[in-house]
Amino acid sequence: MNLAPITLFVYNRPWHTQQTLEALMQNEYANQSTLYIYCDGAKENAVKEDIDKIAEVRKVIRSKPWCKDVKIIEQPTNLGLANSVINGVAQVVNKHGNIIVLEDDIVTGRCFLKYMNEALELYEKEEKVFGVSGYKYPSTSEVEDSTYFLPIGSSWSYATWLDRWKEVSFDGERLLQEINELDLKKKMNFGGYPYYEMLKDQIEGKNNSWAIRFYTSMFLKEKFFLYPNVSLVKNIGFDNSGTHCSTDDFFSKINVSDQSVHIEKKNVSLNSRIIKLFEKSFKSENASRLGLIDRFERIIEKVIKIIEKK
């Protein structure tokens, strides 16, 4: 098997970076793989604490031989997550033809690289498959199929090929225009999740997400991502340490598995039963969130009325 290069993006979180690398090192195939580590630089007018954290991250990545070959790229200035990922992935995938991507808060199970490489090899010629992820979205019940396709992507570990990467547009305004012209807003929001609103926020500068543009490009081309029935990764960044991570999130309620996922080539199509399962899971979480918001608003109204009476 021709193993795909792994690309890791780090910035100023030494503890998270250490956990991510320690887990990656335990993977089958790690000692046969090439690892690229892209280190973003300090922001303009960064305080000493942030500069020290960046320096600590750069010490961590040099502390052990994490893979067979480790190549470190240090940016002198801050590119931001989106530009760092877009530029770094382009460089590596153009050189190697395929790629496995991680960020500094993604802890992997021991069989993660095995699954990702097998999937890359198995579906290389299937243009309908836009990418592969080792993550499993939460679901209201178990998925019996060992692997399956969804019409949504994931940035919590993913792999893709050069020809698919070339199909991605990072022009958010153009993507939004196409979604609106085709009247696809509702369909884009899988299970009611606000992907459309995320794209609008990216255009307005409210987020700096490369992933929403990646997903929208895939969605417009009606292509799919391959997923496992257990999660081979876990996001440990929901502690307010990251740029886009809060202290709690529906998608983080998943534990990493060390088990091997059986993977065999199947017809590239969507299973309606599985699609309904995940749509139901997404809708259930969205309904829960909306209920909390509604209750909070009612409490605020009561407090206002009490204050007004005084």
Q: How far apart are CA 254 and CA 82, in angstroms?
A: 25
User: What is the largest distance, in Å, between two alpha-carbon atoms of the chain?
Assistant: 75
Q: How far apart are CA 46 and CA 42, in angstroms?
A: 6
Let me know whether 207 and 138 are in one domain.
no
Contact between 162 and 168 (Cβ < 8 Å): no
Let me know whether 152 and 137 are in one domain.
yes
Let me know whether 156 and 299 are in one domain.
no
Let me know whether 127 and 100 are in one domain.
yes
Let me know whether 247 and 210 are in one domain.
no
Let me know whether 160 and 97 are in one domain.
yes
Let me know whether 152 and 281 are in one domain.
no
**What stretches of the chain adopt beta strand conformation (E)?**
6-10, 34-39, 69-74, 98-103, 106-108, 129-132, 147-150, 158-161, 224-228, 233-235
How many independent structural domains does the chain possess?
Answer: 3
Write out the residue range of the structural domain in which residue 93 sits. 1-167+223-270
Let me know whether 204 and 235 are in one domain.
no
Let me know whether 90 and 113 are in one domain.
yes
What is the reported pTM? 0.89
Let me know whether 102 and 9 are in one domain.
yes
| Structure token digits, residue 138 | 């939460």
Let me know whether 96 and 10 are in one domain.
yes
For residue 72, which amino acid is it?
A: I
Contact between 228 and 261 (Cβ < 8 Å): yes
Contact between 133 and 254 (Cβ < 8 Å): no
Let me know whether 185 and 308 are in one domain.
no
Per-residue pLDDT tens listing for the chain (310 residues): 899 999 999 999 999 999 999 999 999 999 999 999 999 999 999 999 999 999 999 999 999 999 999 999 999 999 999 999 999 999 999 999 999 999 999 999 999 999 999 999 999 999 999 999 999 999 989 999 999 999 999 999 999 999 999 999 999 999 999 999 999 999 999 999 999 999 999 999 999 999 999 999 999 999 999 999 999 999 999 865 544 444 346 666 678 999 999 999 999 999 999 999 999 988 876 644 433 333 333 333 443 444 344 4
Q: What is the CATH number of the domain that holds 154?
A: 3.90.550.10
Coil vs helix vs strand at 101: strand
Q: Is the dihedral of CA 139, 144, 147, 150 positive or negative?
A: negative
